[in-house]
Amino acid sequence: MAEPSKPLRIALAGLGTVGAGVIRLVEANAALIARRAGRPIQITVIGARDRSKDRGVNLAPYVWEDDMVIMGERDDVDVVVELVGGSDGPALSCARTTIEAGKALVTANKAMIAHHGLELAGKAEAAKVALKFEAAVAGGIPVIKGLREGAAANEIERVYGILNGTCNYILSTMEDTGRDFADVLAEAQAKGYAEADPAFDIEGTDAAHKLSILAAIAFGGKLDFAGVDAAGITRLRAADIAQADSLGYVIRLIGMAETVTTAQGKVLFQRVQPHLVPFDHPLAHVDGATNAVVAEGNFSGRLLFQGAGAGEGPTASAVVADLIDIARGEIAAPFSVPVEELEPMPRADAGHRSGRAYVRLMAADRPGVLAEITAAFRDAGVSIESLIQKGRSSDQGAVMVAMVTHEGPESAVGEAVRLLNGSDSLAEPPLVMHILGD
């Protein structure tokens, strides 16, 4: 009788919600995982900052390692799963040590990959070990695998989507209830959908981390998180949601990346920003804490990946899927092509883009203000499709003026905003949201 296959031995660095979920999943589906992986997957070593905390799972069967950084150097570990979080600090030290010790690394840490992914991928390729991070983008949705494998024969022309569940929950709740941002954010924090300090989510940073990773995989370019132009949802009002609805749109925080061919070669456009999404677009129907990613291939057409973008079960599922790949012996370039072959793509100026925009202004309620606003748009060469003026709000007597522009260059809208910035006729800077095209 042949000997059973040698187990793949796992060390878990970090035992938060996802870490506990990985333990539950590996224990509950052990037999099925072994059949699909071709060998058992066993957790042997665990570690976290607080040894005494109750995680709701039995930790007795596992060896506790106080120093998570050195987990990869242990003889009883084949793969380290890093779930500590943070772009630097212990998470990065753990990742470097693991790969340098010749062990595979699985991580759900989008911040670390966005900031240090090229370094870690280069180390992994040199050491001929796997570096996998499916759980770092869109939780349980296999979008990285879909782009890297399922759409591998395609030239991806654009990738975009809803990449942050916290923001999507807030926006869809505002849409359903008519309540304002601050009120819904407080509810999201109470329910655990938003962190006590939600800045990374609501300012667009989390979505920007994920977008930069997707862009590198989709386009074969070097990671450029710093090149993502990110804006969050903190300035949105219930009145914006209502106005968008009356025009046939919902508002969603969209991360978008595309390459643009110029005379000098390809340049990369990356932006996270609230958009008006037409009712008939697939992303308009993505509600709650759900994520969705659209990839447009030159032969595949539009591909939609949708599902739970966070949470114990979905994220643990993505982590264990990566472990199954490693157990099968799959070692591929983390970003689809070797790091040395990733193209350096200069950043594209948003001014090259053309489209329609929604512009909201809080203006003083006095004669001549509307003429000043429309003159700025005229002087910038922006054609206004519709203009709506609402009644006086509680904002020091300001009134809401909302405009939708005709198709035109984004640079022109930017110039109109520049002309209006600093005007004593406005209670706050203009808010611009672009309208998502087909």
The ranges assigned to domains in the chain are: 8-136, 145-308, 351-435
> Is the pLDDT at 366 greater than 60, yes or no?
yes
> Is the pLDDT at 79 greater than 70, yes or no?
yes
Signed CA dihedral, 200, 202, 203, 204: sign only: positive
Predicted confidence (pLDDT) per residue in 104-157, tens digit? 999 999 999 999 999 999 999 999 999 999 999 988 889 999 999 888 899 999
- The yes-or-no answer on residue 53 being catalytic is no
Mean pLDDT over residues 35-54, rounded? Answer: 94
Confidence class of residue 350 from pLDDT cuts 50, 70 and 90?
confident
Contact of 129 with 275, CB cutoff 8 Å = no
Confidence class of residue 3 from pLDDT cuts 50, 70 and 90?
very low
Fold of domain 8-136: Rossmann fold (3.40.50)
Does the fold of domain 351-435 match that of domain 145-308? no
Mean pLDDT over residues 192-209, rounded? Answer: 91
> Is the pLDDT at 371 greater than 60, yes or no?
yes
Tokens (6 digits) for 40: 């058992």
> Is the pLDDT at 394 greater than 80, yes or no?
no
Q: Which amino acid, residue 332?
A: A
Q: Which amino acid, residue 133?
A: F
Mean pLDDT over residues 97-108, rounded? Answer: 97
Tokens (6 digits) for 256: 């978008």
Q: Which CATH superfamily is domain 351-435 in?
A: ACT domain (3.30.70.260)
Structure-token match 């929950």, residue found: 169
Predicted confidence (pLDDT) per residue in 213-257, tens digit? 999 999 999 999 999 999 999 999 999 999 999 999 999 999 999
Q: What predicted TM-score, i.e. pTM, was given to this entire model?
A: 0.93
Which pLDDT does position 1 carry in this prediction? 30
Mean pLDDT over residues 287-307, rounded? Answer: 92
| Nearest residue to 44 (alpha-carbon basis) of 69, 25, 65 | 65
Q: Which CATH superfamily is domain 145-308 in?
A: Dihydrodipicolinate Reductase; domain 2 (3.30.360.10)
Which pLDDT does position 2 carry in this prediction? 37
Strands 431-435 and 357-363: antiparallel
Catalytic residue among 103, 123, 132, 210: 210
Q: What is the rounded average pLDDT for all residues in the chain?
A: 92
* Distance from C-alpha of 312 to C-alpha of 13, rounded to nearest angstrom: 16
Which pLDDT does position 389 carry in this prediction? 84
| Nearest residue to 29 (alpha-carbon basis) of 48, 43, 11 | 43
